[in-house]
Amino acid sequence: MERIKGVVAGVDAGSTAIKVTFYDGTLMENYIEPAGWNPREVAAGMLAKAAERRGETVDDIARIYGTGYGRVGLDSLTKAVTEITCHASGAACLVSGVGTVVDIGGQDVKAIRVDGNGRVLDFIMNDKCAAGTGRFLQVMANALGLDLSAMASLSSGGDYCPINAMCTVFAESEVIGLLNRGTPREAIVAGLYTSIATRVAAMAARITICPPVVLTGGVAQHYSMQKALENELKLPITVPRDAVFAGSIGAALLAWNDLQRGGE
Ligand code: ADP
């Protein structure tokens, strides 16, 4: 079948960051910017800039599929697609043969079981509580006087201080108390990763976890998070280089497939 030429875009309007993927059947380009206070404007600006780099305008994009928590507010969308569908498709593109996707984003956590083609077989999601999400880490990084990148590269060297509070607000007080008692930040951070990993693993266990397991979302940038989750799940976990773009890549691929089929 002859390939229909053109470029498509996937936009993942998350709670923390906007991710945009352009795909023309050969090349994939990914862009990320903080969502800020006006995610709709940020997304529109990113699409316009990325199109301009190609010597085109937004009108030249054959299909724009949107996903993520902020997708309803986006302009110029051809179609909105659920996060679960997009993350499954994106993760399957990043790691072929993936069995289970665990996505830890800014304000939700998802575990998705997928078939060999990246189609959703089952999923579970927590978007009711900040504990166990990237937002939890942001609050704790702030309490520890660390930026997120510094936190992500902090190694405890095995030292570990359990965090008992389940709620973000109480956990923040606990962290401040530990700091005041002279507990090393590295040990507190290790305790925080374990706290998130325990919650995520308990949630993921409610669907059947099939290896290989892939970790996506912004929190996948924390190497110790990957290790803590491996420890809880007792399974190796792969973190692809473009883990944070799984949603936008999935949206772009679905748009591309529809373009090739001539569908809506
Ligand atoms: P969303 O889709 O809701 O915007 P993301 O998947 O983009 O969420 O993940 C956002 C989370 O990623 C943040 O809450 C934070 O915990 C983490 N994060 C963001 N930037 C960084 C960074 N530079 N280093 C480490 N972690 C980060």
- CATH number reported for the structural domain that contains residue 81 in this entry: 3.30.420.40
The minimum-distance atom of ligand 1 relative to the CA of 135 is 14
Average pLDDT, the chain: 93
> Do residue 32 and residue 120 come from a single domain?
no
- Best substitution site from 244, 245, 248, 249 to test ligand 1's pocket, by max atoms within 8 Å of Cβ? 244
Residue 121 shares a structural domain with residue 186: yes
Same-domain pairing of 103 and 76: no
d(CA 200, CA 229): 8
Same domain? For 21 and 107 the reply is: no
**CB of 134 closer than 6 A to ligand 1?**
yes
Residues in the chain: 264
**Whole-model pTM?**
0.95
Task: Tell me, using a 6 A CB cutoff, whether residue 92 lines ligand 1.
Answer: no
CA-nearest residue, atom 7 of ligand 1:
218
Q: Check if 148 has its Cβ closer than 6 Å to any atom of ligand 1.
A: yes
Instruction: Judge contact between 8 and 62, C-beta under 8 A.
Output: yes
Centre of ligand 1 to C-alpha 219, Å, is: 5
Residues 107 and 228 occupy one common structural domain:
yes
The span from the CA of 51 to the CA of 56, in Å, is: 5
pLDDT value of residue 253: 98
Claim to verify: residue 128 and residue 66 sit in the same structural domain: no
Distance CA(4)–CA(260), nearest Å, equals: 6
> Is 240 near ligand 1, meaning CB less than 6 Å away?
no
- Confidence at 154, pLDDT banded by 50, 70, 90: confident
Q: Which atom of ligand 1 is nearest to the CA of 103?
A: 6
Beta strands 100-104 and 61-67 are unpaired
Answer whether residue 1 is part of any domain: no
Query: Is 191 within the bounds of a domain?
Result: yes
Tell me, yes or no, whether 81 and 121 share the same domain. no
Residue 57 lies in a domain: yes
Q: Is 257 in the same domain as 222?
A: no
β-sheet with 79-80: strand ranges across: 28-34, 17-23, 7-13, 61-67, 79-80
Q: Which domain holds residue 165?
A: 99-239
Are 251 and 212 in a shared domain? no
Query: How distant is the alpha carbon of residue 198 from its chain centre?
Result: 18
Residue 91 Cα to ligand 1 midpoint, Å, equals 17
Q: Is 142 in the pocket of ligand 1 (CB under 6 A)?
A: no
Q: Which two tokens stand for residue 245?
A: 């773009």
pLDDT of residue 156: 64
Q: Where are the beta strands (DSSP E) in 42-194?
A: 61-67, 79-80, 100-104, 109-114, 120-126
- Give me the mean pLDDT over the 83-102 stretch: 96
214 assigned to some structural domain:
yes
Q: Which two tokens stand for residue 256?
A: 């591309």
Please compute the mean of the pLDDT values over residues 236-259 and round it to a whole number: 97
Please indicate whether residue 216, judged by its CB atom, sits closer than 6 Å to ligand 1.
Answer: no
CA distance 104 to 31: 19
Find, among 210, 256, 219, 231, the residue nearest to 90 by Cα: 256
Asked whether the beta carbons of 253 and 90 are under 8 A apart, the reply is yes
Sequence-ordered alpha helix ranges (H) in 95-184:
134-143, 148-152, 168-180
pLDDT of 155 over the 80 cut: no
Tally the domains of the chain.
2
